[in-house]
């Protein structure tokens, strides 16, 4: 029993590796230590033997302080080990495609900052398309042979699908601002993924919680930015900042989302109210200007309903 009491379980790599396969860990590790010690160290060790003999008062007093430290450290180590095992088990239960998708969303942001040249941004855009394809696969899987139309109808409503159409316009223009809608969507996905794999309380987890709690507002902001960028691309044709092809690609994205995406429908309604309140029906502005602004909005809405 004396050899058992002097055995350093904390520094023994074999015992620590053995603990990784024990789930869940009990609050008291003494029984596990005794069984492991008998199996791997001393086959003649009696696991039911008392740790201390009442007659050995002198030895008990000498070992009292180390035992108190061990008693204090054991629950702390057990809690940390249990948390580690829970995180590892939860991570192993996440599909590999979801892990790849989440990691690529996290890596998207440093890549966005460093890939500023047009040639490097093309690789970023291809990566964004790949992330969207993984997102579609995660949400809807692969199409079945006799349900192709149903599958298309489902995926056309996804934000990832409209992202792919939108990314096509990013190959025609070199502008950081046009990456904002994709960045906002990936930011939400990265925050949700980070919450899945990280449970340690810290600033990164607080930021992820904040983003996830404001998910609806962020996605709504994404739709608004896409509408504003379409209007900018139309006016940009006249000032030679954009092209007709570029404007048409963004327009088909806005048009598609207005018909199938509830987030874009809500954004259109929000902008319609704001436009009327601040511009077309604002009595502070001259009546002639208000009529022009009203005609612009009516033309925009008719354009959306042509197809």
Per-residue pLDDT tens for 92-148? 678 899 899 999 999 999 888 886 676 778 888 999 999 999 999 999 999 888 888
- One domain for residues 74 and 141: no
Domain that holds residue 286: 96-304
Q: How far is CA 293 from CA 38, 158, 275, 277, 300, in A?
A: 86, 32, 9, 12, 11
* Residue 194 and residue 106 in contact, taking contact as beta carbons nearer than 8 Å: yes
Higher pLDDT, 57 or 96: 96
Q: Indicate the residue among 93, 111, 133 that finishes a domain.
A: 93
Mean pLDDT of the chain: 80
Residue 251 DSSP label: H
28 and 167: one domain? no
Of 93, 121, 145, the residue at which a domain comes to its end is 93
The string of pLDDT tens digits covering residues 132-169 is 999 999 999 998 888 888 999 889 889 999 899 889 88
Whether 61 and 125 share a structural domain: no
Q: Which residues contact 113 (CB under 8 A, 6 or more apart)?
A: none
In 3D, which of 19, 23, 44, 43 has the Cα closest to residue 33?
Answer: 19
0.75 surpassed by pTM: no
24 and 159 within one domain: no
Are 83 and 103 within one domain?
Answer: no
Does 124 lie in the same domain as 59? no
In the predicted model, what is the mean pLDDT of residues 284-293? 90
Same domain, 137 and 275: yes
166 and 281 assigned to the same domain: yes
Q: Check residue 160 and give its pLDDT.
A: 93
Residues 272 and 125 in one domain: yes
Residues 271 and 150 in one domain: yes
Domain boundary among 31, 59, 93: 93
Q: Identify the pLDDT of residue 18.
A: 73
Number of domains in the chain: 2
* The predicted structure's pLDDT at residue 55: 40
More confident residue, 78 or 262: 262
Same domain, 78 and 113: no
**CA 24, CA 18: separation in Å to the nearest integer?**
13
Residues 6+ apart with CB under 8 A from 170: 121, 125, 128, 178, 179, 182
Report how far residue 307's alpha carbon sits from residue 303's, in angstroms, rounded to the nearest whole number. 8
My answer on whether 43 and 80 are in the same domain is yes
What pLDDT was estimated at residue 52?
A: 47
**Which of 16-20, 37-41, 259-263, 277-281 has maximum average pLDDT?**
277-281
Mean pLDDT computed over 244-263: 84
């Amino acid at each position: 029993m004396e050899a058992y009491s002097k055995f350093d379980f904390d520094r023994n790599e074999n015992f620590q590796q053995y603990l990784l396969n024990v789930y869940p860990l009990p609050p008291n590790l003494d029984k596990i230590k005794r069984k492991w010690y008998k199996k791997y160290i001393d086959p003649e060790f009696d696991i039911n033997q008392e740790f201390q003999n009442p007659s050995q008062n002198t030895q008990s007093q000498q070992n009292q302080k180390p035992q108190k430290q061990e008693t204090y450290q054991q629950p702390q180590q057990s809690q940390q080990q249990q948390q580690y095992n829970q995180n590892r088990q939860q991570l192993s239960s996440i599909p590999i495609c979801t892990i790849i998708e989440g990691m690529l969303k996290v890596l998207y942001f440093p890549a966005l900052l460093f890939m500023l040249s047009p040639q490097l941004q093309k690789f970023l855009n291809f990566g964004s398309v790949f992330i969207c394809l993984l997102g579609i696969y995660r949400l809807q899987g692969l199409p079945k042979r006799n349900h192709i139309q149903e599958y298309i109808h489902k995926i056309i409503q996804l934000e990832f699908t409209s992202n792919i159409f939108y990314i096509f316009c990013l190959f025609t223009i070199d502008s950081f601002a046009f990456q904002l809608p994709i960045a906002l969507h990936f930011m939400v996905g990265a925050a949700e993924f980070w919450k899945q794999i990280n449970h340690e309380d810290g600033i990164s987890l607080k930021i992820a919680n904040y983003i996830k709690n404001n998910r609806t507002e962020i996605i709504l902001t994404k739709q608004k930015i896409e509408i504003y960028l379409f209007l900018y691309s139309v006016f940009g044709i006249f000032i030679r900042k954009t092209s007709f092809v570029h404007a048409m690609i963004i327009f088909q994205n806005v048009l598609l989302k207005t018909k199938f995406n509830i987030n874009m429908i809500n954004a259109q309604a929000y902008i319609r109210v704001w436009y009327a309140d601040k511009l077309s029906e604002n009595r502070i502005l001259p009546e002639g200007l208000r009529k022009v602004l009203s005609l612009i909005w009516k033309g925009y809405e008719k354009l959306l309903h042509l197809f």
